[in-house]
Chain A
Amino acid sequence: MNKQLLIDSSKCTGCGLCELACAISKTRQCQPQLARIKVWRDETRGIFVPMTCLQCENPPCANACLMNVISKENDKGLTVRRLEACIGCRACQVSCPFDASRYDYIEDVVVNCDHCEGNPECVKYCPSGALQYCSLAEAIDCLRNVEAKKRCIDSGL
């Protein structure tokens, strides 16, 4: 079963460790802009949402790509790029509804999350449990637990 990157933004505290861990492991630079994950912050409302590639089934970035470098990898369901052919035009960035195509200014290419070969760095460093890496079944279990807990609290159990 394929594993998914599960994001629970209600737990996110906005510390940005996911960004730094990602940037260091991919580029050896401490620079959040170079990360494949981005924490979207609404400071005045106290809302933090980690945004990264959701590995869409029919990715708009692939449709937008001028050089046809973006495709779906069949066995894991990941959206992958042949970076050697990327011209850094950023059409994919514009087309992504989740702001998940990130421009890497060192290599002059646009990149997306690749789940770090099944061991995502961001998940390892997330201190609040907002990011989890689990199978679809585990993810559904997780959601079920949250919903069950909520109903228990609501009904005063």
Chain B
Amino acid sequence: MSKFRGYAGFILEVNLSNHDFRHKELASEFCRDYLGGIGFNAKIIYDEVPAGIDALSEENILVFGVGTMVGSTFPTSSRTEVSAKSPMTGRFGTSNSGMFFGTQLKNAGFDALVIKGQAEKPSLIFIEDGEVSIQDATRLWGKDSWETLDILKNQYPGAEVALIGPAGENLVRFACIENGYYDAWARTGLGAVMGSKNLKAIVVRGTQGITPFNAGALLQVSVKARQLIESSPFFKPFKSYGSMNAAMPYGNFKALNAHNFSQGCLPDWKQNFDRPQVEKLIKGHVACQSCIIACAHWVDIKEGKYQGLQMKDMEVTPTTSYGSGCGIGLEASVKAAEMSQRYGMDMVSTGGVIAMAIELYNRGIISQEDIGYGLAFGDDDAILHLMDDIAHRRGIGTVLAEGTMRAAKQFEGGDSSAMHVKGLEIPMIDPRGRWSTWSFGILTNVRGGDHLRCRNPIENLRYNENKHDFRKERFGFDQKMYDALDMPDALKTQAIDLESDTVDIAIMSRWAEDLINLFNSVGVCIRPPVEHRIGPTVIAEAFTAFTGIKISAAQVMQSAERTWNLIKLYNLREGELPEDSKFPQRFYEQEISGKVLDEERVQEVLQQYYRSRGWDMLTGKPGEEKLVELGLNNLS
């Protein structure tokens, strides 16, 4: 039994170049300052990855950081963060996924796994109860991820596997690392980093056990957290229908990515993707480790072209990416999700790059001769064919596999069709259709055009108006909801103004980013019912019960803020410029149902956001005062 409480106690460092393993014991200050998960990843990558390297070179480091609460009974604690320098954005690349990998890695004795170097031939890493071996994986190279999993799960019963598919092997820049059959660390192209290291899979099996510091207190706080989550008004909708709840409201707001952000919503969106249509395909729910919500759906297609297809799917982001962004039907979007899983490609980026290709085709910039077949929004056969070409880097797929930003440069006038922020494709939400903390967060996200690192914990989907020059969104809840929000009072009064019933986007963004960063550090899911009710107070209590490290709510928030600032410093070191924080030109120029972004106003909100973070208002650089406060002033 380990002497550590809550933590497994060690970081495993594997060097694929010389087959060297190292166990590093965790220091308690390190745990307090960075908590775990994304915190560990940020510190390790900032310290150990040299500035300005090529993301696909052997100098890049891939880090799997398991959240602190993972493996405990704390509701929804299952998340593991994977980070490296991103081949998509050239910045800090990071992605979060749940299921059972983190639990296994922790039970095998490690809180984080650091992978360095580059293997000579296709390899896999097998970790079991503190023992590590690097094995030959030539027989698996070239197989799609589901075939590979079938083999590995038979060979290592009870193990969890993180692996790449053909896209990762072929260094498609937006390849993802698959987490078992149906989940992935998808965004920012981490699969290409793994592929560049010649690493096909990481197989983990652990039975060591994690000892809680105070088991009674842990169970108590878990029950309390569960009651809080269940009391959220977002809980019941989420339990019954998952993230698909957002599909119709965002369609009504005309705030979806439809045909590469050229319309706010497809005319037949409601008819094809409304709840009754989706529920025809759904059979039961699937949960990650320790989850009380189980938002994922088990999909079983019983008739039609894709009959017999069964998988875990119907998550709003991939469904919109293919169904709305590329305009294919509901069943075809499940098929596209299956192909993405098998090939190991990020669904948002794949959908984004394909939508761009179709738009370029329609604009006459790409011709049928270039591709070999015609492209059209809604043509599922052509889209699936193109996915296959991208994953294997065939024909035009070679260009598109470089991601939207790089591919657009290959075509004259392509830039105006490339819908990305900082090199990462923008997911389902169109900020023109709905301006909120959530859509503003795409701009400030440290990993680029992505919606998952900043979401107002009390977003109100009943209202959609922009009365205050982009500075505010409608609060729209009663005093009870206001009181229940776990946020320091001083900040709460600044962020939410009950009199005018508004939320200040700049201030709320900062809070939401830190809060989500905290969740990603301790490995708790950021689904709305959880983010709404669980705040730093409960997390600090659970953290102390599990690890025995005494920490306050303010301290855990500061740790999360430290991580966010450290990532920003990393991005600045990699050459991030103030003008990179900008939406695609289309959002400022082309109206959607009468709405368009006002560049000047958006810039003002951005400056307000910088100010609330204690960063320079013009350049977005963390100020000296803030760095001293966070203890980041003496970094090399």
Contact = CB atoms under 8 A, between A and B. Distances in A.
B363 interface: no
A125 B73 contact: yes
Interface string A19-33: 011011101111111
A120 to B, nearest CB: 14
B292 A15 contact: yes
A99 to B, nearest CB: 12
B291 A31 contact: no
A98 B365 CA distance: 62
A63 interface: no
Contacts of B298: 46
Given A29-B211, A127-B226, A44 B285 contact: no
Given A43-B181, A45-B310, A46-B312, A13 B291 contact: yes
Contact of A15 (B71, B212, B215, B290): B290
A105 B100 CA distance: 21
B310 A46 contact: yes
Contacts of A46: 283-284, 286, 298, 300, 310, 312
A128 interface: yes
A44 B286 CA distance: 12
Interface residues of B, number: 38
Given A13-B285, A46-B283, A46-B284, A24 B292 contact: no
Given A20-B72, A46-B310, A127-B292, A31 B286 contact: no
A10 interface: yes
A96 interface: no
A14 interface: yes
Contact of A24 (B75, B218, B286): B218
B289 interface: yes
Contact of B289 (A10, A16, A28, A105): A16
B546 to A, nearest CB: 9
Interface in B260-301: 283-294, 298, 300
A30 B209 contact: yes
A31 B205 CA distance: 12
A24 B310 contact: no
Contact of A29 (B181, B209, B312): B209
A34 to B, nearest CB: 6
Contact of A28 (B72, B180, B211, B287): B211
B292 A31 contact: no
B188 interface: no
Interface size class of chain A, counting residues whose CB lies under 8 Å from the partner chain:
20 to 34
Interface in B73-107: 73, 75, 100, 103, 107
A16 B207 contact: no
A17 interface: yes
A31 B294 CA distance: 21
Given A15-B290, A20-B73, A21-B73, A34 B218 contact: no
A14 B283 contact: no
A43 B145 CA distance: 14
A126 to B, nearest CB: 9
B31 interface: no
Contacts of B285: 13, 128
Given A28-B211, A30-B71, A31-B210, A44 B287 contact: no
Contacts of A27: 209
Contacts of B73: 17, 20-21, 24, 30, 125
B208 interface: yes
Contacts of A13: 284-287, 291, 294
A33 B100 CA distance: 13
B371 interface: no
Contact of A31 (B207, B287, B289): B207
B228 interface: no
Contacts of B300: 46
Could you say which of B73, B107, B208, B210 has the most chain A C-beta atoms within 10 Å of its C-beta?
A: B73
B386 to A, nearest CB: 27
Contacts of B100: 16
Interface of B: 1, 71-73, 75, 100, 103, 107, 180-182, 207-212, 215, 218-219, 222, 226, 283-294, 298, 300, 310, 312
Interface of A: 10, 13-17, 20-21, 23-25, 27-34, 43-46, 48, 105-106, 125, 127-128
Given A13-B294, A27-B209, 9 more contacts: A13-B285, A13-B286, A21-B219, A28-B215, A30-B212, A32-B103, A43-B182, A106-B1, A128-B285
